[in-house]
Amino acid sequence: MSIRSFFMAKYYDSSIKKMEEQCLGDWRRELLSPISGDILEIGSGTGVNLFHYPKSIGSLTLTEPEPHMRKLLQNNVNNQPEGKIRVEAFSAEALKFPDQSFDAVVSTLVLCSVNSPEKTLEEIKRVLKPQGKLFVLEHVLATEKTPLIKWQKLLQPFWKCMCGNCHLTRNTEKSILEAGFSFDSIDRVYSSGGPAVISTMIKGVALL
Ligand SMILES: C[S@@+](CC[C@H](N)C(=O)[O-])C[C@H]1O[C@@H](n2cnc3c(N)ncnc32)[C@H](O)[C@@H]1O
């Protein structure tokens, strides 16, 4: 438990508040409104998505390996009326669930931060049932040949160090396709209210 991760957890919600209000909140709701069945969310952080799941879901399993974040997450879960939510400490590269446990996996702003997107996507495939779905909202490498790409590359070492291993230059759409998923829907969206280097995002649903 480092002092940096303590502060990251403490100030996470306030650091993304403006983005949540201007766009992220709507995108989370749009993404998650059709979700159903037994759901696994990786890297849940403080539990921002909790408020966007439909009441009709079967069960919700939230995983968060970072202890300070997990404490805030557990507090938010305890304030929920439903008894069908559980919290686990597993990292996304080692999801200690049996094969084919879930109908859907949710990853929002997490594939940028995991140590290995490849291992994470392998694990997601393993725990998804046949015809399972992966719901993603992730900031990614800018595609256009704009100065933004240069800034993402330049700032990456500092950003990664200060923001909990968050990478600015991941091509997450490509990683998902290379892992063997195909996209049922994907939108490239541009966030406002936050730093430009994390403004290029993908929002979509990938199928096994
Ligand atoms: C930017 S926060 C996103 C939190 C939340 N998903 C959201 O949408 O607001 C990234 C989260 O990923 C978690 N994380 C980092 N490395 C991880 C890993 N290897 N496996 C699972 N979660 C991880 C962090 O602890 C943090 O809670």
CATH code of the domain containing 151: 3.40.50.150
**How many Å apart are CA 44 and CA 193, to the nearest integer?**
21
Ligand 1 atom closest to 43 (CA): 22
Measured by CA distance, the residue closest to atom 23 of ligand 1 is 43
- Of 110, 163, 165, 203, the residue with max ligand 1 atoms within 8 A of its CB, to mutate for a pocket test, comes to 110
**How many Å apart are CA 96 and CA 99, to the nearest integer?**
9
Residue 204 — pLDDT band, cuts 50, 70, 90? very high
Segment 82-133, tens digit of pLDDT: 678 999 999 999 999 999 999 999 999 999 999 999 999 999 999 999 999 9
Segment 50-83, tens digit of pLDDT: 999 999 999 999 999 999 999 999 999 998 876 7
Domain of residue 86 covers 3-207
pLDDT reading at 48 higher than 60: yes
pLDDT reading at 29 higher than 90: yes
Measured by CA distance, the residue closest to atom 8 of ligand 1 is 108
pLDDT reading at 1 higher than 60: no
**Composition of the chain by helix, strand, coil, percent to 5:** 40, 25, 35
pTM for the full model?
0.97
| Structure token pair of residue 153 | 């590359």
Ligand 1 atom closest to 69 (CA): 27
Segment 163-186, tens digit of pLDDT: 999 999 999 999 999 999 999 999
* Tally of CA atoms within 13 A in the half-sphere of 104 that contains its CB: 21
Q: How far is CA 17 from the centre of its chain?
A: 16
pLDDT attached to residue 158:
95
C-alpha dist (Å) from residue 3 to 8, 10, 164:
9, 11, 11
pLDDT attached to residue 145:
76
Look at the chain and report how many structural domains it folds into. Answer: 1
pLDDT attached to residue 82:
67
